[in-house]
Amino acid sequence: MERKILLIYTGGTIGMKQDPETLLLKPFDFRQITREVPELKKFGYVIDSFSFDPVIDSSDVKPSFWVELAGIIKDNYSLYDGFVVLHGTDTMAYSASALSFMLENLEKPVIFTGSQLPIGMLRTDGKENLISSIELAAAQGPDGHPKVSEVCIYFDSQLFRGNRTTKYNAENFRAFRSANYPPLAEVGIHIKFNTAALYRPPEWGRPLILHTDLDTRVAVLKIFPGITEPFVRSVLSTEGLRAVVLETYGSGNSLSDPWFLGALGEFTGSGGVIVNVTQCQAGMVDMGAYANGDILRQAGLICGKDVTTEAAVTKLFVLLGQYPDNKDVNKLFEIGVSGEISEK
């Protein structure tokens, strides 16, 4: 059967072209993608495209954008074998994380990609990223089911679980990293899938469920030596704030000043959710390892283990949207839903 892929163009560097007169980068009409990448015709697939209008720099991404994007995927879910989302790199890790929580029971590939150099430039990384993403989105196993059945980011020969990624390089073609989870596939002469790391649905054919109620009453607070009480208190007293992602040191340790622990304790004591995540690029929070971590457990924080900040924020948006009572969110956050947290 002919494979059908939907390309969804949202904006970002990948879809830009240099205006020959002004030399400025401008988005090109994405319906003409085959003119820019004639190689696409060599796939024997049906490749349809959908373009956001207007397209956006991903620095402008908002939760309403994720709702629109998830809706497009849901509306076209039965019509296509896979989805490739062309997206700016700046917030791609947030968008891929968000979609991984918003699309429950996903069984088809949703592959985000983009580029560091526009597709119209000679040394662009965009063509390879696009072509390989399409191939990955169309890949089937011998059982006829998709090889990839989750939200991913493909960049510079590596396929990652989307909610495990972080953008860590603003210059190199290798812009993304997934420090706590191995690549799902490596693309060289052959595509090598890491079968053990890929998500497999417990059964096939479950209906896709869309979560579009996103509650954004979340703050991210990064501690640093010298952080002051008025600053912490002003964040925690933000009107309506329901949850905080606290970026701590190392394996989840913080300053032990009584004012700091007191402020956190007051917030959790009045029902607020605080998730302890690490500022480190790799490794996990273990609040039982040091006295300076244990004090955070006593202040009522929950353990983010090895979740990225991007995944923590977007998971909170979805959980808070689903559960009006913070107690439920406190209970549910530590349970992995889309492979975003390691068990140990």
Using the rule CB under 6 A, is 10 a contact of ligand ASP? no
Using the rule CB under 6 A, is 15 a contact of ligand ASP? no
β-strand partners of 247: 222, 277
Using the rule CB under 6 A, is 89 a contact of ligand ASP? yes
Q: How far is the CB of 91 from ligand ASP (least distance, A)?
A: 6
Using the rule CB under 6 A, is 90 a contact of ligand ASP? yes
Tell me whether residue 9 or residue 260 sits nearer to ligand ASP (CB atom): 9
Q: Which of residues 41-60 bind ligand ASP (CB under 6 A)?
A: 57-59
Residues involved in catalysis: 13
Using the rule CB under 6 A, is 173 a contact of ligand ASP? no
Using the rule CB under 6 A, is 25 a contact of ligand ASP? no
Choice from 27, 63, 82, 88 touching ligand ASP (CB under 6 A): 88
- Phi/psi region, residue 82 (left: phi>0; alpha: psi -120 to 50; beta: rest), is beta
Using the rule CB under 6 A, is 286 a contact of ligand ASP? no
Q: How far is the CB of 158 from ligand ASP (least distance, A)?
A: 16
> Cβ distance 147 to 193 under 8 Å?
yes
Using the rule CB under 6 A, is 251 a contact of ligand ASP? no
**Alpha carbons 33 and 265: distance in angstroms, whole number:** 54
**Alpha carbons 124 and 142: distance in angstroms, whole number:** 34
* Number of residues forming the site for ligand ASP (CB under 6 A): 10
- Mutual angle of helices 92-102 and 63-76, in 10-degree steps: 50
> CA distances (Å), 150 to each of 82, 171, 208, 210, 317, in order?
10, 27, 12, 14, 19
Using the rule CB under 6 A, is 13 a contact of ligand ASP? yes
**Alpha carbons 304 and 306: distance in angstroms, whole number:** 6
- Amino acid residing at 99: L
First-to-last C-alpha distance (Å) of the chain: 41
Q: Which of residues 105-144 bind ligand ASP (CB under 6 A)?
A: 114
Start-end of H helices in 139-193: none
Q: How far is the CB of 171 from ligand ASP (least distance, A)?
A: 11
Contact residues for ligand ASP, defined by CB under 6 A: 11-13, 57-59, 88-90, 114
